[in-house]
Amino acid sequence: MSRLSLVVLFGTFLTSLWTTAHGFYVDNGNPYDEGDLQVLTLSISQNDAPMLTKVYYPTRIDTYAVFFFTGGYQGDIPSELYSDVLVRVASHGFVVIGVDYMPMVTVQANVRDRTQRLGADHTQKYFEELQWVTKHLEGRIAKQLNRTGLVPDFNHLAIGCHSAGCDPLVKMTLQNHTFSKAALLLEPFSFNYATPVTFKMPAFILGTELSTQPHACVRPGQGYNHFYNMRNCPRMLMEVKGHGHCDIYNETWYKACQLTHFCKTNPDVDINKYHNFIQGISAAFLTTTLQGRDKLQYINNTTALPVELLEFKIDMDC
């Protein structure tokens, strides 16, 4: 099947799932460029919301689709370590909600309470967090801006995650998938993902070459290819050459990963260039699935990507 046919087929499928978005912000720019919108950060304490919450949202008064994100190690990795990428995505017209499973010891201390690490299935807590932000976030943003009118539209929400942070979000959608329109799975990993998806939720899955090499941070057979095989169509997968599991982090934490050899890294990586790539594929996918503006050409035209791929798989024949 030709690339053009795939795009047309996917567009037809999306139309069958939901109508083209009306009444909220739609990004018209190149997803690999910085978005047009200025972004603010809102921090919500774990003593307020069910989970420590970092929200990255555009300052322009409008209605925006929502991207609900959790970091690696089943949410133990703070979403703040991904803020460079998350702010870039928000600048394309999304309210990005980063949730942290491990709270601060106190509101004032920049120290995590490791006694509350994930020891079992805490999917319900993520549901409670989603319910809380759905009810309260608009008001909290209005309080910070000192004006009303900025609306996070939870009817147009996608889940997103990195590494084993994908495990609780996948469990959420297996229990009730209706809250999410799409899934952006960045180097997903799970020890126990064994239930195939039977519903249709567009999924974009990213993998990296170095993540499965010693020091491996993704076990072969439990990572991105496994997630792709467990998903139903429509689904897409990219494996990026020469990049590793820590490249998505803010530069300071990427360097810490490199120095400690926590995961295998490439010393020649341009982190800013790679973050532009993550921004581009994320914004293109989310603009298509949530905002109703087809930007899949920015994904399908792999020769124009700012990185080199080892693998690109796409299944839109639904």
3-315 topology per CATH: Rossmann fold (3.40.50)
Phi, psi dihedral angles at 255 (to 5 degrees):
-65, -35
In terms of pTM, does the model score above 0.85?
yes
* Cα 178 to Cα 197, 225, 287, distances in angstroms: 13, 24, 19
- Looking at residue 22, its pLDDT comes to 60
- Looking at residue 143, its pLDDT comes to 98
Answer whether 304's CB lies under 8 Å from 182's CB.
no
- Looking at residue 109, its pLDDT comes to 46
- Looking at residue 47, its pLDDT comes to 83
Which residues face 205 on adjacent strands? 185, 237
- Looking at residue 106, its pLDDT comes to 45
Quote the CA–CA distance of 224 and 83 in Å, as a whole number: 22
Going by C-alpha positions, the residue among 56, 68, 67, 63 that lies closest to residue 25 is 63
**Along the 318 residues of the chain, how does pLDDT read in single tens digits?**
455 555 555 555 554 444 355 688 999 999 999 999 999 999 998 889 998 999 999 999 999 999 999 998 877 889 999 999 999 999 999 999 999 876 544 445 444 444 555 455 678 889 999 999 999 999 999 999 999 999 999 999 999 999 999 998 999 999 999 999 999 999 999 888 889 999 999 999 999 999 999 988 998 888 999 999 999 999 999 999 999 999 999 999 999 999 999 999 999 999 999 999 999 999 999 999 999 999 999 999 999 999 999 999 999 888
